[in-house]
Structure 1
Amino acid sequence: MTHHDMWRRDDAAKTVGSLRRDMLSSRETERVPLAEIGGRTLASDLVADADRPPLSRATMDGFAFDATDAYPLRLREGGIFPEDSPPTLESGEAMRISTGAPLPDGANAVLKVEEATVEDGLLSGTEISPGTYTYARGSNVRAGEVLFQAGERLSPKDALLLRDLGHESVTVHTRFSVGILATGTEFHEGRQPDLDSPMLAGLVRSWGHDPVYEGSVPDDYDTVTERIAALAADHDVVVTTGGTSVGKKDHVINALTELGEVLFHRVAIRPGKPIAVARLDDYDAVALAIPGKPVGAHTITSLVARPLFVGETTLPTVSARLARDIGLGAPGFEYVVPVTLEDGEAMPLGHVDSSLAVYDEVYNPSVLSSSTRASRADGFFITEEAVSSGETVNVVPYTAVE
């Protein structure tokens, strides 16, 4: 297989995202309180049933009146506080008002205290326009607006608007159960540590789902196949590590082909190229086969597998100046280059001038993919062309994908 036969990253990520939509369409739901919505997937659209705020309110201590009236204005006795039901103001009248208090009928603006003068019961002050220092009714939300859509992944900040809409809890889809299986005799026999499984479990958990470490299997085709089948019967998603290449002991792809339909195998990206994704329809499950090199495993899982869990393919970036020239190897790939960030400058972690000297000027993703110290990078940028020192690169912070 040449790199021309490989999938592009965007196409692979979109395909994975479509699997998520299929899974959610028949998924069970549950109610959760707003304090627990972070990372959860909304089960249905949420529509505003009323204007918010329901009343116009003052955003400053001062005087409420109709800003189209001319000074001086007659000042009514008393004041309006947040808990009050205010009286109606007549034309030419004003009334003291506190921050957060509802505007009385007949008022459309607030003159703040510092700009006001009161003499003999008459108010004068700075000329203001309607709407000054007011939080107008319906300016936040209009009744009938669809504010949250089914399938949307919620975050803690969403509790602010949800509570304002009157919700104490919302209906979400149950979390995906994810079985994680390490493949490789070296791991199964304890001769090498399994580096990937704890990292993958942490990613799945950070994306709002329930990972379960299901141990390891040796490099034996029948054992690999039987174990994947058993996990597919127990979990919504099976994530395997290692065994995704074409060596004599790499059995995962053939096992997935026997158990279901491999949608793609290999993505034109380095590191992390040998990823595979399969539908296991007989088990009502999805399988993600992640390559074994640790940094490559994190990279490709974050870029291609993540949409299955969060429903997002976009990647937020920050701009930085590249600190060193970066040359590339074979054309036709997207190269993911880890960097550290300092004072707006991106130093390629792994470059000979960085704290991890793995390559000179030509980026070496194969070696870097095995270097666990590369995980100390702050983020990465993606490029298909060589980049010169001083050029601007768009860095994806690791915090944005974890």
Structure 2
Amino acid sequence: MNSPIALEDALEKIRMLKNNYYFRRESEDITLIDSIGRELSETIFANSISPEFDIAAMDGFAFNCEDKFPLKIMGKVFAGDNLLRIKRGEALAITTGALLPEGANAVLKIEDADVKNDILFGNTLPEWKNVFIKGSDYREGDMIFERHHRIMPQSTALLYSLGIEKVSVYKKLRTGIISTGTEIHNGTIKNTNAVLIQGFMNELGCESTFIGTVPDDYEETKKMLLDSCEKYDIVFSTGGVSVGERDYVSDIIKEIGELVFHKVAIRPGKPLAVG
């Protein structure tokens, strides 16, 4: 009789199976809003630049950091206004998100500024201080997300900024659930395990189907397992993996495929087979 394997060994074998089989799925194109929780089936590269212009990161005054204070304030620019220009010795009041005027390369924060009769006084700043520099998010050709990246809500925002409205993702895993045991099949015992497993699969974003129940019969169990493996990426079965006279599942796996491991050194949960 085989000895139970350690939990760490069982998990490592499962990880190896995932590495070999998890991404062996077809892909499909879906909208960004429907892509959350799904994995990309192709690497995405930037086809543009962001931000497209130098942008003020603070409310304050745009100026050239090589100029000496005081500076003449020539007006004000708001987010959404057209690109303006300033000359040396000039400054422009600016709001967060506004385009940095040509000729400016820094923003003096409003709380650090002293203004008297449209004359600006302040401290010298390094170049590009308080500025979102053109292309600082990404440039054309930059890799945005690698293949297999699991899409999150913040991922969709970044993809939308690239002008992407649909992405290619792997199709959902098709999971099937079989419940073995005459006591389950005839309704003597409530089939709570199937409900639990199906709930976990739905929570993980899988397509989950309860295939049905099967009594303690070798050939019927074998047929249901074979049919299910043709239709689903992963098949879960409950019951039938201990050492009882009518526990057939592990023997069937050995007959029709490969039994990766059987029994794990944990309690509860020792009777567990993967193949």
TM-score, normalised to structure 2, is 0.90
Instruction: Give 1:90's match in structure 2, choosing from 87, 90, 102.
Output: 87
Instruction: Give 1:99's match in structure 2, choosing from 83, 96, 99.
Output: 96
**Map of 1:177-196 to 2, 5 A cutoff?**
177-196=174-193
Task: Find the residue that maps to 1:231 and give its secondary structure.
Answer: helix
Higher relative contact order (CA 8 A, sep 6+): 2
Residue 11 of structure 1 corresponds to: 12
Q: For residues 86 and 208 of structure 1, what CA distance do their matches in structure 2 show?
A: 46
Distance 1:5 1:201, change over 3 A: closer
Residue 153 of structure 2 corresponds to: 156
Ranges in structure 1 where 5+ consecutive residues have no aligned partner: 279-402
CA contact (8 A) 2:4 2:262 kept: no
The structure having more radius of gyration, on CA atoms, is 2
Residue 384 of structure 1 corresponds to: none
Q: For residues 251 and 5 of structure 1, what CA distance do their matches in structure 2 show?
A: 23
1:72 shift after superposition: 1.0
Q: Which amino acid aligns with 1:153?
A: R
Ranges in structure 2 where 5+ consecutive residues have no aligned partner: none
Q: Which amino acid aligns with 1:244?
A: V
TM-score, normalised to structure 1, is 0.63
Residue 64 of structure 1 corresponds to: 62
Once the two structures are aligned, what percentage of the paired residues are identical?
35
Q: For residues 271 and 137 of structure 1, what CA distance do their matches in structure 2 show?
A: 58
RMSD (Å), alpha carbons: 2.2
Task: Find the residue that maps to 2:201 and give its secondary structure.
Answer: helix
1:252 shift after superposition: 1.0
Distance 1:261 1:67, change over 3 A: same
Task: Find the residue that maps to 1:262 and give its secondary structure.
Answer: coil
CA contact (8 A) 2:3 2:263 kept: no
1:112 shift after superposition: 2.4
Question: Is the aligned partner of 1:175 residue 2:176?
Answer: no
Q: For residues 158 and 266 of structure 2, what CA distance do their matches in structure 1 show?
A: 39
1:180 shift after superposition: 0.8
Distance 1:174 1:129, change over 3 A: same
CA contact (8 A) 1:6 1:265 kept: no
Task: Find the residue that maps to 2:176 and give its secondary structure.
Answer: strand
Residue 53 of structure 2 corresponds to: 55
1:189 shift after superposition: 1.0
Residue 2 of structure 1 corresponds to: 3
Q: Which amino acid aligns with 1:56?
A: D
Distance 1:67 1:5, change over 3 A: closer
Q: For residues 5 and 254 of structure 2, what CA distance do their matches in structure 1 show?
A: 22
Q: For residues 213 and 65 of structure 1, what CA distance do their matches in structure 2 show?
A: 67
Structure 1, 81-90 or 251-260: larger mean CA deviation: 81-90
Count of matched residue positions in the alignment of Structure 1 and Structure 2? 274
Residue 225 of structure 1 corresponds to: 222
CA contact (8 A) 1:34 1:159 kept: yes
Residue 317 of structure 1 corresponds to: none
Task: Find the residue that maps to 1:94 and give its secondary structure.
Answer: strand
Q: Which amino acid aligns with 2:84?
A: P
Distance 1:263 1:105, change over 3 A: farther
Question: Is the aligned partner of 1:207 residue 2:204?
Answer: yes
Instruction: Give 1:165's match in structure 2, choosing from 159, 162, 167.
Output: 162
CA contact (8 A) 1:9 1:269 kept: no
1:10 shift after superposition: 4.0
Runs of 4 or more consecutive aligned structure 1 residues displaced over 6 Å after TM superposition: none
Residue 116 of structure 1 corresponds to: 113
CA contact (8 A) 2:7 2:266 kept: no
